[in-house]
């Protein structure tokens, strides 16, 4: 197969301009695609877009999920999931153009996504059907992911190997208890991934329609404290305490 020579630009989405403290897949991402077209580029290398537990895109909580910090508040507004007042309520006093304040980003994005979830759930008669369709399509990874995030939240973001043994060992009785008691939180994390999927695919379609290809990165690093290790511990080299020496990628 003959490959045509192409050029492009490497730019992580977090580096796009934003009034929300971090670049996202909103209007500025679409403008960047327009810029690539104007400068006769063909490729946009975004690097990893997975959720992270530390400020490194190579320490991912999941090999399949999208990073909720990249969800665009402007797109949430367009979808009538939040209001202009919700956007005005964001505390921008700790934002800095020179760096990303991840703690503030996490707090503000989660606040908006919680509001968006409530509006989606209360104002959309088909909300359950929409989320169930998405769940069925992505079940091979999202079932474990939403459960993992819910348990992680319950135990204050502690590493999965520090959870109670029945949950650490994925005993079905313990997992079913969480599914029953935390049903709404599981659905919230499902909603967040649904929104990311919608926004990401809108951006990807715009890029492809503009003859721009989005590429990621060759290495895919899974963090020890990830759903992938928790749900598939048999394929990782762990000791009898379910621990392994982590590799930290800066």
What sign results for the dihedral spanned by CA atoms 209, 211, 212, 217? positive
| Res. 245: pLDDT tops 70 | no
* Total Cβ atoms within 10 A of residue 239: 8
Please state the pTM of the whole predicted model: 0.92
Distance CA 55, CA 118 (A): 28
Q: Pick the residue with more confidence: 240 or 45?
A: 45
Mean pLDDT of the chain: 92
- Percent of residues, the chain, with pLDDT higher than 90: 76
| Res. 243: pLDDT tops 60 | no
Of 106, 119, 120, 103, residue with least CA distance to 71: 106
Q: What is the per-residue pLDDT across 87-99, written as a single tens digit (0 to 9) for each?
A: 999 988 888 878 8
Distance CA 13, CA 27 (A): 12
H or E segment to which residue 44 belongs: strand 43-45
Sequence-distant (6+) residues with CB within 8 A of 243 are: 161, 224
Q: Domain limits of the chain? A: 8-235
Can you tell me the mean pLDDT for 126-148?
A: 97
- Determine the CATH number of domain 8-235: 3.20.20.80
Lookup: tokens for 73: 């508040």
CB 170 within 8 A of CB 177: no
Can you tell me the mean pLDDT for 3-21?
A: 92
Q: What is the per-residue pLDDT across 67-83, written as a single tens digit (0 to 9) for each?
A: 999 999 999 999 999 99
pLDDT at site 98: 80
What residues are paired with 96 via a beta bridge? 99
| Res. 42: pLDDT tops 90 | yes
């Amino acid at each position: 197969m003959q490959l045509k020579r192409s050029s492009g630009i490497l730019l992580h989405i977090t580096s796009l301009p934003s009034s929300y403290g971090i670049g996202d897949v909103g209007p500025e991402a679409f403008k960047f695609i327009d810029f690539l077209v104007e400068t006769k580029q063909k490729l946009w290398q975004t690097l990893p877009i997975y959720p992270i537990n530390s400020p490194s895109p190579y320490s991912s909580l999941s090999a399949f999920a999208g990073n909720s910090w990249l969800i665009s508040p402007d797109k949430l507004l367009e979808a009538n999931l939040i209001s202009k007042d919700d956007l005005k309520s964001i505390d921008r006093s700790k934002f800095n153009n020179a760096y990303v304040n991840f703690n503030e980003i996490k707090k503000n994005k989660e606040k908006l996504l919680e509001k968006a979830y409530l509006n989606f759930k209360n104002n959309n008669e088909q909300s359950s059907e929409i989320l169930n369709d998405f769940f069925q399509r992505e079940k091979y990874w999202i079932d474990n992911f939403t459960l993992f995030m819910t348990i992680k939240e319950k135990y204050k973001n502690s590493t999965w190997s520090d959870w109670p043994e029945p949950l650490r060992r994925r005993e079905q009785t313990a997992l079913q208890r969480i599914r029953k008691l935390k049903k709404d939180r599981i659905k919230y994390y499902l909603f967040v991934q649904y929104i990311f999927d919608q926004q990401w695919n809108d951006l990807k379609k715009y890029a492809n329609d503009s003859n721009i290809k989005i590429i990621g990165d060759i290495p895919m690093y899974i963090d020890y404290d990830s759903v992938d290790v928790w749900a598939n511990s048999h394929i990782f080299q762990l000791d009898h305490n379910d621990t392994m020496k982590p590799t930290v990628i800066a």
